[in-house]
Structures are given as structure tokens and as C-alpha cells.
């Protein structure tokens, strides 16, 4: 099982980017899917989360600007980021609670991280 993230890049302030993350492998089920970010010199923080049923949660700093969504049929999660600010600059990581086939419980899986740079 692995997660593959894509979509980072350089954007000017007030611009938009869309991050995507696809889970692949022998997957029985996927629970919560999340996006984290880690800015230089800071701890990794949870940015947005979505349950298997579609309930979402956001850190206050991105509410109203970011939207997390998932496609359960394709095992993907996306993060639409609008009105980007320089303080959104970070490496973004996707994370998912995945139960592989033949396993009895969910485990944490992480994507490789994708860099988002917002210039002022």
C-alpha cells in the first residue's frame, strides 16, 4: 500500500493550487484521509481531514480558503487551496488510515510530501 501525492508548486499570493493524493495497493478499506503541512522550522500540523462518510474539519488558518474532498471509488483525496498566502508555504503531506487486505486493523500511511511555495 502506498500514497502518491502530486500538485505542489510555486504560486503567487491569492492564487490557487490543487493537491491530489492517490492510494494504491491491496486495500480493504480506507478510513479518514488527511492533509498535513510542515513549514520550515515548524512542527507538522493537520490542515484538513475528511472521514469516509465525507465529514470535514479544517485548521482555523485555512477555513474558507481550502476544501478537502475524496473519491472513495478511486481511493483519492484532494485539497483545493484558494486565496493562498505566503504563510501557507510548506511541504504538504497526505495521510490516510488504511486497512490492507488480510489485515485486521487500519494503519497510518503517508505520501511523500509535495512542496507548496506562495510568493508575496
pLDDT for 81 equals: 98
- Contacts of residue 76, defined as CB under 8 A and 6 or more positions apart, other chains included, come to 20, 21, 22, 23, 70
What digits encode the pLDDT tens for the residues 8-61?
Answer: 999 999 999 999 999 999 999 999 999 999 999 999 999 999 999 999 999 999
pLDDT for 59 equals: 98
Dig out the grid coordinates for 63 from the structure. Answer: 477555513
pLDDT for 73 equals: 96
Instruction: State the average pLDDT over residues 98-109.
Output: 95
What digits encode the pLDDT tens for the residues 54-100?
Answer: 999 999 999 999 999 999 999 999 999 999 999 999 999 999 999 99
How many other CB atoms are found less than 10 A from the CB of residue 61? 13
Amino acid at each position: 500500500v502506498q500514497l502518491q501525492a502530486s500538485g505542489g508548486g510555486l504560486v503567487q499570493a491569492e492564487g490557487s493550487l490543487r493537491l491530489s493524493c492517490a492510494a494504491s495497493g491491496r486495500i480493504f478499506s480506507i478510513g479518514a484521509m488527511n492533509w498535513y503541512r510542515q513549514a520550515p522550522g515548524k512542527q507538522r500540523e493537520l490542515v484538513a481531514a475528511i472521514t469516509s462518510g465525507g465529514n470535514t474539519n479544517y485548521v482555523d488558518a485555512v477555513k474558507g480558503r481550502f476544501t478537502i474532498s475524496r473519491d472513495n471509488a478511486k481511493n483519492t483525496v484532494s485539497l483545493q487551496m484558494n486565496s493562498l498566502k505566503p504563510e501557507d508555504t510548506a511541504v504538504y503531506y497526505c495521510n490516510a488510515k488504511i486497512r490492507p487486505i488480510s489485515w485486521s486493523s487500519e494503519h497510518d500511511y503517508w505520501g511523500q510530501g509535495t512542496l507548496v511555495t506562495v510568493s508575496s
